[in-house]
Amino acid sequence: MISIFITRQSRYPANTKALKKSVSELLSNHGVTEAEVSIALVGERKMRELGEKFLNEGQADETHEVLSFPASEAKGEFPKNENDRSLGDIVICYPEVRKIAIKKNRLMDEVICELAEHGTLHLLGIHHK
């Protein structure tokens, strides 16, 4: 079973049903049948904090549109449970979504789904060329 968990504040509206469907279909198309993915829609400040903390960017001038944190690369004190189905976490910057939607004349939900799919590919180990 594929489970998608979405966290967002009420000021960041999104079609969560379409988002879950988009990511689930992408995973299925890549042969994944058992997985958990967490997706968070956040503001610019939170996205910059994550960039500073995990990408060692210091005071970044730019805000990332999407960041992915694969569970396979998680660092911590606790060993990973072999039954853990978590692929990882995807964080999407909602204000950046708005900018992209306006610039490309697209619906916000379309942009959110595209960024979530992009992040999912990173969780699967598929990266940019």
Q: Please check the confidence at residue 70 and state whether its pLDDT lies above 90.
A: yes
What average pLDDT does this structure show over 5-30? 95
56: left (phi over 0), alpha (psi -120 to 50) or beta: left
Cα–Cα distance measured from residue 86 to residue 4, given in angstroms and rounded to the nearest whole number: 10
| Strands laid side by side in the 2-7 sheet | 2-7, 35-42, 86-93, 66-70
Task: Look up the pTM and report it.
Answer: 0.89
Binned at pLDDT 50, 70 and 90, residue 90 comes out as: very high
Domains of the chain, CATH where assigned: 2-72+84-123 (3.40.390.30)
Binned at pLDDT 50, 70 and 90, residue 83 comes out as: low
